[in-house]
Amino acid sequence: MEKTRKRKNTGRVTLQDVAKYAGVGSMTVSRALRTPELVSDKLREKINEAVEELGYIPNSAAGILASGQSRTVAVLIPSLRDNASSVFLQSLQEVLNKNNYQVVIGSHDYQQKKESEVLSTLLQSNPAALIIFGAINSEGVYTYLKNVDIPVISVAGGGSHPFTLNIKSNIGEAVNFLTHYMLQKGYKKIGYIGAQMDNKMQSQQLSGWNKAMLEYNQSADQSITTPYVATMDFGRQAISEMLTRQPELEAVICSHEMIALGVIFECQRRLIKVPKMLAVACVEGSANCDHIHPSLTSVRIDYSKMAREAAKKLQRWLADTDGDLSQRQEEVIFPYKFEARQSA
């Protein structure tokens, strides 16, 4: 095999360089990269070796112009730091990457002003589809969605926009159930600690807690919320403030696992026994709930399964070139899972 050196002036290896290195034609290399199933295993291995050796980076823009199809999926998420977003992204990428789709990610860090700006940048990459994870909080986003002609999938969000696919879980109902559970266990003075309250979906949690408390004729005035990201520090500070206001507090429900962990750590520091002196439960729990002591009572939402469902449906639609996606609207409701543990 004749080796081709990278040209220092341009610094970019071309498709022709790869073809020359592999001893095949440019069309064969192009076919192997775009539709590898149409090339023999031996020839594909030879071309892949050339690509790796030369460090060739395919020109995706040229591929889109030639085929009229993009192999990227734009994903708008609220944060790269929270557990729900990372779990969702990991599972989504695993499924899409197996089918040669790449994920382009944009995060607005729960900032409404930034939400439509990030979405605009994502759409400039001419993606094959758009996936929005979490609630839409900016009217500017809806303005953009009215003008896109690609499949739009909403996951764990809501809103009135006619999405191609809307995958959601009733988070308000989940918190209402969790509050009822604790009330039925005999706890009466139950507080609520919530983060990201600018997010419309998170505000549904507060409504679910409030409704359950009023149904049992209990006071629903012990709540502390923030528009910012959920952290353990916020959990520690919030429970300290809540106990100062109401020392006889019996239980607390947290909007996120990270907040609940902060509450438990603060209780341990203060020698407050959980659940004997204060019961703790949370929404959006993960495997961490099983390993902390005491283990944490939680409502869990399977974001990984949501991601796989979204990716599989999207791939089928994109492969169906004869289908009219503009007329397709589907809604899938995922059930939440309640797990009673030691903390309540």
Question: Is 251 found in the same domain as 147?
Answer: no
- Sign of the CA dihedral 160, 253, 309, 32? positive
CATH of the domain at 77: 3.40.50.2300
Q: CB of 343 within 8 A of CB of 263?
A: no
Question: Is 226 found in the same domain as 262?
Answer: yes
Domain annotation covers residue 244? yes
Question: Is 246 found in the same domain as 279?
Answer: yes
Domain annotation covers residue 328? yes
The model's pTM: 0.75
Peptide bond into 275 cis (omega under 30): yes
Domain annotation covers residue 65? no
CA distance 194 to 205: 8
Give residue 295's domain range. 172-301
**Residue with token string 């009673």:** 340
Q: CB of 97 within 8 A of CB of 120?
A: no
Question: Is 74 found in the same domain as 164?
Answer: yes
Question: Is 295 found in the same domain as 190?
Answer: yes
pLDDT at 182: 96
CA 310 vs CA 153, 166, 169, 313: distances in Å: 7, 9, 14, 5
Domain annotation covers residue 342? no
Domain annotation covers residue 5? no
CA 86 vs CA 99, 105, 110, 288: distances in Å: 20, 11, 15, 15
Both tokens of 46, joined, read 């030879």
Question: Is 228 found in the same domain as 180?
Answer: yes
pLDDT at 327: 64
Longest C-alpha distance within the chain, in Å? Answer: 83
Among 30, 58, 86, residue at a domain's last position: 58
Domain annotation covers residue 325? yes
Question: Is 180 found in the same domain as 96?
Answer: no
pLDDT at 36: 81
Question: Is 249 found in the same domain as 153?
Answer: no
Question: Is 282 found in the same domain as 177?
Answer: yes
CA distance 316 to 329: 14
Taking the CA atoms of the chain, what radius of gyration do you get in angstroms? Answer: 25
Closest CA to 105 of 125, 114, 113: 125
Give 38's DSSP letter: G
pLDDT at 227: 86
pLDDT at 92: 95
Instruction: Report the chain (344 residues): mean pLDDT per 10 consecutive residues.
Output: 43 82 89 82 88 75 54 90 88 90 89 87 89 85 83 82 86 94 96 83 87 94 90 96 96 96 97 97 91 94 92 86 67 90 95
Question: Is 159 found in the same domain as 49?
Answer: no
Domain annotation covers residue 82? yes
Q: Is 231 helix (H, G, I), strand (E, B) or coil?
A: coil
pLDDT at 198: 67
> What are the start-end ranges of the E strands in the chain?
72-77, 102-107, 129-133, 152-155, 165-168, 190-194, 223-225, 251-254, 279-283, 297-300, 330-333, 337-339
Number of domains in the chain: 3
Domain annotation covers residue 3? no
CATH of the domain at 29: 1.10.260.40
Question: Is 219 found in the same domain as 149?
Answer: no
pLDDT at 169: 85
pLDDT at 293: 93
Question: Is 112 found in the same domain as 159?
Answer: yes
